[in-house]
């Protein structure tokens, strides 16, 4: 690493150390050689999330072109999160790719990672299986995310995330069949049971252009799931 880059990384590490009691975020060389091109960072799970109290280790590699290219980061700690691969720890985050700027720092990027714990983005997933669970059954997602945080990151048990409360399911016979406008009831009710009004769900299906398939039930593609959810949430 060139001396100017080494000085910058060293200063960033010193700044993180000085602020660690407030932020809870730390980073240091991955081994005892003092090599500043390979770091291990530690993030605390934010309060109020299934990850609360966990300590999540992030592998950080500093490229030769830093700060003009972003650091390469992945989670060493296994995490159940739609934007983090449950198998490899790979991360889907704009600031680690196209949105990177030389004015950003290792700490600001780690803060963005911590922000993903508070605001997961299942419509832009790194792990499609996790994203699907989060969209279809948020309580089950929270429970599993917390279980993994306890198991892999040492988070304390939180009763708020230890059991899945039974969801209120609207019985199809209580709804006029015409409200489904030709769509399969179970297909529509997957979104209705997430708390959305049936008319809004059907409107979103029609807006996105979901095929009715003669009223048959089927699994929607991930892209369509994201488009429908975005429409229901009022996103452009």
What is residue 15's predicted lDDT score, i.e. its pLDDT? 92
154: left (phi over 0), alpha (psi -120 to 50) or beta: left
Q: Which domains does the chain have, with CATH numbers?
A: 3-128 (3.10.110.10), 167-236 (no CATH)
What is residue 165's predicted lDDT score, i.e. its pLDDT? 47
What is residue 173's predicted lDDT score, i.e. its pLDDT? 46
What is residue 10's predicted lDDT score, i.e. its pLDDT? 93
Q: Within the chain, which residues score under 50 in pLDDT? A: 1, 164-173
Q: CA-CA distance, 76 to 99, in Å (whole number)?
A: 23
Q: Which of 86, 77, 93, 194 is nearest to 130 (CA)?
A: 86
What is residue 170's predicted lDDT score, i.e. its pLDDT? 43
Q: What is the pTM of this model?
A: 0.68
Q: CA-CA distance, 124 to 102, in Å (whole number)?
A: 24
What is residue 219's predicted lDDT score, i.e. its pLDDT? 86
214: left (phi over 0), alpha (psi -120 to 50) or beta: left
Read off the pLDDT of residues 101-119 as tens digits, 9 standing for 90 and up.
Answer: 888 899 999 999 999 999 9
What is residue 161's predicted lDDT score, i.e. its pLDDT? 85
- Buried b / exposed e along 93-111 (16+ C-beta atoms within 10 A): bebbeeebeeebbbbebbe
What is residue 93's predicted lDDT score, i.e. its pLDDT? 86
Contact between 4 and 65 under an 8 Å Cβ cutoff? The reply is no
Catalytic residue numbers?
92
Phi, psi of 154 (to 5 degrees): 70, 25
Tokens in use for 143? 């429970």
């Amino acid at each position: 690493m060139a001396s100017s880059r080494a000085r910058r990384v060293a200063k960033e590490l010193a700044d993180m150390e000085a602020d660690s009691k407030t932020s809870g975020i730390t980073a240091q060389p991955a081994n005892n050689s003092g090599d500043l091109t390979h770091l291990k960072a530690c993030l605390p799970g934010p309060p109020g999330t299934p990850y609360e109290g966990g300590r999540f280790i992030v592998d950080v590699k500093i490229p030769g072109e830093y700060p003009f290219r972003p650091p390469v980061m992945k989670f060493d700690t296994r995490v159940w999160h739609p934007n983090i691969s449950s198998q490899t720890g790979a991360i889907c985050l704009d600031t680690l790719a196209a949105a990177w700027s030389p004015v950003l720092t290792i700490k600001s990027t780690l803060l963005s990672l911590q922000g993903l714990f508070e605001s997961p983005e299942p419509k832009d997933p790194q792990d499609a299986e996790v994203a699907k669970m989060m969209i279809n059954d948020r309580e089950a997602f929270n429970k599993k995310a917390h279980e993994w945080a306890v198991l892999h990151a040492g988070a304390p048990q939180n009763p708020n995330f230890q059991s899945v409360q039974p969801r209120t399911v609207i019985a199809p016979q209580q709804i006029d069949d015409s409200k489904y406008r030709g769509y399969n009831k179970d297909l529509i009710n997957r979104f209705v049971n997430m708390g959305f009004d049936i008319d809004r769900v059907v409107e979103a299906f029609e807006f996105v252009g979901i095929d009715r398939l003669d009223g048959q039930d089927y699994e929607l593609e991930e892209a369509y799931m994201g488009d429908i959810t975005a429409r229901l949430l009022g996103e452009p």
